Amino acid sequence: MQSIIRIGSRESRLAVIQAEIVRQAIQKRYPDIQVELVTMKTTGDKILNKSLELIGGKGLFVKELDRALLDGRIDLAVHSLKDMPAEIPEELPVVAYSVREDPRDVLIYKPGTAEIPEGGVIGTSSRRRTLQMQTLYPSCSFQGIRGNVETRLQKLREENFDGTILAAAGLRRLGMQHVIGRVFSVEEMVPAAGQGILAIQGRKGEDYTYLAEAASERSRKEAAAEREFVAALDAGCTSPIAAHAQLCGTELKLTGLYYSEDSGKYWVETRAGAADRGRQLGAALAGEMRRRE
């Protein structure tokens, strides 16, 4: 077993905390292994004045870390699974999925307020969130907002936004639950596939038994169903298509959100199946919803 393991991460505070979760899990079981964090700024972190849709999508958050893995400069890369593109290089598989944090989306109000006014402005660059928020807040308008959690909260204080939407998981990992104004149920706002799960990426063919403490079988099964639903619909990284799976004993319940580019409408359906057949469940639900278009 390696005596030194280098974990790659984006530079943001949240990304470093997420990498630290993995580091601590490794050292809990193998205290003699030296685990180092290697941080880097990705293209997605550098370009904040344009939407992801215009500059290349979620892959911009992983390509520098992919290159570092391939070059051997790091041994693992830790990502929020929801930020990973649908297609992952065969030579750089996800080797473990973390225990899932709260998968829900939350609304944060402008400081000093406790609601979104009629005709208010909500900051989000996510088509998935905008689509569902238009149903929940039909009088509001939506404007793009990008950057890490701290940057978005600063923009909420200083710019013309009445609220913004973030993932509960990131705020909880940052210890910032106090800023949450409203929590959306997964029925009100279907989360992005993989939301709340950390993906640990490695190199094909290597031994990762040292990740046993960091890995969750439940998350692996839920992620398989969610990501297969998205992949089966050939949804790009900026598509509003969403999925959320919940493992209940030996059964997996999958909720999918399907969006029709032709009609501009979306709908949500739920199906259940065997927990060890998550990919088949995701593909089946996607096929059924596509046929109803």
- Strand order across the 34-40 sheet: 34-40, 4-10, 76-80, 198-201, 94-97
Q: At what angle do helices 13-29 and 149-158 cross, to 10 degrees?
A: 150
Q: Where are the domains of the chain?
A: 1-98+197-215, 105-183, 216-293
pLDDT value for 101 = 98
pLDDT value for 42 = 66
Two structure tokens written together for 229:
């639903």
Active site residues: 83
CATH of domain 105-183: 3.40.190.10
What pTM value is reported for the model?
A: 0.91
Q: Are 173 and 19 in contact (CB under 8 A)?
A: no
What's 209's DSSP letter? G
- Asked if the domains at 105-183 and 216-293 fall in one CATH topology, the answer is no
Q: Round the CA-based radius of gyration of the chain to a whole number and report it.
A: 19
Dist. CA 35–CA 233, nearest whole Å: 39
Dist. CA 259–CA 263, nearest whole Å: 9
| Residue in this structure with the two tokens 């979104």, named with its chain if needed | 116
Count other Cβ atoms within 10 Å, centred on residue 261. 9
Q: Which fold has domain 1-98+197-215?
A: D-Maltodextrin-Binding Protein; domain 2 (3.40.190)
Per-residue pLDDT 10s for the chain (293 aa) are 678 999 999 888 999 999 999 999 999 999 999 999 999 876 555 544 555 454 444 555 678 899 999 999 999 999 999 988 888 999 999 999 999 999 999 999 999 999 999 999 999 999 999 999 999 999 999 999 988 899 999 999 999 999 999 999 999 999 999 999 999 999 999 999 999 999 999 999 999 999 999 999 999 999 999 999 999 998 665 679 999 999 999 999 999 999 998 888 999 999 999 999 999 999 999 999 999 87
pLDDT value for 236 = 60
pLDDT value for 55 = 45
Q: Which CATH architecture has domain 216-293?
A: 2-Layer Sandwich (3.30)
